[in-house]
Structure 1
């Protein structure tokens, strides 16, 4: 559903996803947050963040003067992209959940959260030499 908007804006899907992630998850502000939470490869995040900064959608801001701690801040230029992207996300969710009552949606939400936790546990186990390799 995002492809036409990405094409119109000449933004790769990953760059668009990074903007949307930062806008929708204000607690996460760094490239390493994106890598950790979205499970994207660091080099892919780096290349797309560089592009977003170059094109004026993001700025980098150091934290407490420590050049190793850099937050990514969405600019005014990103506002329209984010607004349109959030509308697409709402439309997608409305279509995906059409015909489900509130109770079913709640159950589905709980199931998805359990599955996310299980996936995180599997991935963490792989990184620490667990049996899920």
Structure 2
């Protein structure tokens, strides 16, 4: 669903995903967060963050008290892309859950949460 938008914006899918992740999850602000939560390779994240910074969609900000840590912040230039991406996400969810009642949706979400926990345990080797 995002491919036409990425093509129009001349943004790699991974760069778009990083931008959307940071916008949709403000509690996660670092490259390490992206690597750990999204399970992406660090070098791929690094290259795409550099691209987003160079194109003015992200800025790096040093964290006070920990000079090794750098926060990634979306810029005003990124906001139109984020808005369009969020509209695509909302449309996708609406299509995905069309004709599914609220009770069934709740059951699906609970099952997905448990599967996410199970997957994290598998990936951690437990």
TM-score category by the smaller chain?
over 0.9
Alpha-carbon deviation of 1:68? Answer: 1.0
Tell me the residue number matched to 2:113: 113
Matched residues in 1 for 2:99 and 2:8: separation?
Answer: 32
Structure with higher RCO (Cα < 8 A, 6+ apart): 2
Structure 1 residue aligned with 2:83? 83
Gaps of 5+ in 1: none
Partner of 2:23: 23
Please list the CA deviations of residues 83-128 of structure 1 after superposition, one character each: whole Å capped at 9, or x if unmatched.
0000000000111111101111111000000000000000111xxx
CA distance in 2, matches of 1:72, 1:66: 15
Match of 1:3 in 2: 3
**CA deviation digits over 1:12-42, x for unaligned, max 9?**
0000000000000000000000000000000
TM-score (norm 2): 0.98
Aligned residues: 126
Aligned residue number for residue 33 of structure 1: 33
Matches of residues 45-84 of structure 1 in structure 2 within 5 Å? 45-64=45-64, 66-84=66-84
The list of structure 1 runs, each at least 4 consecutive aligned residues, that deviate by more than 4 angstroms after superposition, is none
